[in-house]
Structure 1
């Protein structure tokens, strides 16, 4: 009877050690991005019979990050740079706080009241806002994340 009890304790210790090793393994996985590497994307947004072109660039240089967007609508152009600080970074999540927003023009390129999804996205890029980015595992040359507050998926290449 004593041998069975001792065997049970041994298995409990072995399972605890294996579980601790798995936890350490998942906590020490590398960051989902390369530090100071700019990630870029190009996109289009159709607004009736007009086309808004935009180029995004996201660079994380710990402990901060910069998101810059260049928007073009016809012959008009606007550049917006959002400076952020990293609040929390893990393999699966990046939490950023908006610290600074600079725009080349305070005038919008389009009527934001008619494009509610773009207005909603702009409201989160205010000083003090916190955005949670859920990172989607990819290869080492791209960064894909889902912005929880905006319900948007972004994939960018280096």
Structure 2
């Protein structure tokens, strides 16, 4: 039975029932997907981020895959922009009540946006999803767009 995730930041990671990466030092739970290819991407990014950001070791984050309507509602409520977007990040700094592990936050990704941008940027659907997951996770690690450009390029080159 597929668990319905309440689309309110701060709730998706609680008792996350999605697929989880094995302990790579930085655990990424994927919500609303059972795609094995995305699970492999999450493992790879978990390892890269644990290596590049030692302070992230032992932490966890959730990536929630959603539709345009949901991401538009989140964008409207939290960013006051009534349009769909590709990725939103919601940082947190508290331990998971179930595991006690530090939760960096949640990343919401609109699948339709990823599909369109994958065609537009010629990265393909999975290439674009990887880019969006990485982008969102770098925000959870505290990087601004300016700070993440160099790191983003370096990490994208590893995939």
Give the TM-score normalised by the residue count of structure 1.
Answer: 0.28
Q: Which has the higher contact order (CA 8 A, sep 6+)?
A: 2
Whose helix fraction is larger, Structure 1's or Structure 2's?
A: 2
Whose strand fraction is larger, Structure 1's or Structure 2's?
A: 1
Give the TM-score normalised by the residue count of structure 2.
Answer: 0.27
